[in-house]
Amino acid sequence: MPVHGLVYYTTPSMATFLGPAQDYLVKSFLAQYMKKWIVQYKLYRNVLSPKSLEFLKQNIHPYMYACVDETTTIDAEPELEDIIVRTKLWTFRQTFNIEGAIYEVGDFTVAVANVLQKSTWKGIVFHVTYDGSDDVDIARPILQEFFNICFFKNSSPPPPIYENYFYHHRHSIDPKLFLQIFKHRVEISTPSSLPRVKSESTPAG
């Protein structure tokens, strides 16, 4: 049962960080490539009311996650979005994509990806799970050390705008946590407005 570490940076100097980080991970730590990591988030607004509709698709899950007005959530078939669009009751407002890869390094599963709004870089996300302990207090410093050694070569990393360590029975991230991050990206005018979360026993949201 893994403990997760999820860290999100928007520091402009990290816009070209993904490629070198992946190369260093493979060459220095013999990381084994597992699969692509692709996440798509879309936001719609209702034309008759202030309600919102959010869709989240992940290539590692067969279903699409839908959330209406931040309250009602369902797992749906991908065709649902096409049906919603044809009703013309919802207007498309925003989209973000996560594009990267997932690797395996011993007891760690490592996912690293850019966050893009169309072709514009909006940040970089690191998601690492550790199978050596299901205790967050024990695993958190191990994950933090892993981040520093594997991605920052023991130098001081820039401050993240989101940092969360939590226990979850699956290796993948709960869709609600992704929605929380993307929702803040839509609403905030400056990245520093996104709250920085230290640790939780279960994923936020």
Mean pLDDT is lowest, of 76-80, 87-91, 115-119, 196-200, for: 196-200
| Rounded distance between C-alpha atoms, residue 25 and residue 66, angstroms | 34
Q: What's the average model confidence in pLDDT over 78-89?
A: 88
- Alpha-carbon distance of 92 to 97, in angstroms, equals 15
Least confident stretch, 7-11, 89-93, 152-156, 192-196: 192-196
pTM confidence score: 0.83
Domain 3-159 coded CATH 2.60.120: no
Chain centroid offset of residue 167 CA: 16
Residue type at position 179: L
* Nearest to 159, CA basis, from 120, 205, 184, 192: 192
